[in-house]
Structure 1
């Protein structure tokens, strides 16, 4: 069962990456699904077996979470606070 979570984390990362690229190309409706899939993929990676798929999935999903959630929060809070 743990191996399934590792492989699922990897494939969810690929799906989240596609959604994020679509969001960067102007389709704003894909930003929320990319963050949600990245969160699900990261959680699946936490419970997965320690393989290369888990490492790639956790790193990629973590990177999508940082770029999709943490970076915009920091920029809008500290640098872009004036209209």
Structure 2
């Protein structure tokens, strides 16, 4: 059962990655869906069994959330604000 969670987490990473790539082609509606899917994939990766799928799920989904959500939040909050 834990291996299945790792596989699902990896699949969710690739879905999030595909939605992020689709965002570059002009459809910004996919970004929120990609972040939500990657957050679910990250949570599932924590409960997955040891193996390559767990590592792909953890690292991939974490990097995706950092690049698509955390980094823009920090930049817009601290660097692009006007007094």
TM class by smaller structure: over 0.9
Note the alpha carbon deviations across 1:1-21, whole angstroms, 9 max, x for none. 101101111111000000011
Note the alpha carbon deviations across 1:16-60, whole angstroms, 9 max, x for none. 000011112221000100000000000110000111011011100
Q: Structure 1 length as normaliser, TM-score?
A: 0.94
Paired position in structure 1 for 2:53:
53
Paired position in structure 2 for 1:74:
74
Q: Structure 2 length as normaliser, TM-score?
A: 0.94
- State the 4+ residue runs in structure 1 displaced beyond 2 angstroms: none
Structure 1 unaligned regions, length at least 5: none
Structure 2 unaligned regions, length at least 5: none
Q: Kindly tell me the number of residue pairs found equivalent between the two proteins.
A: 83
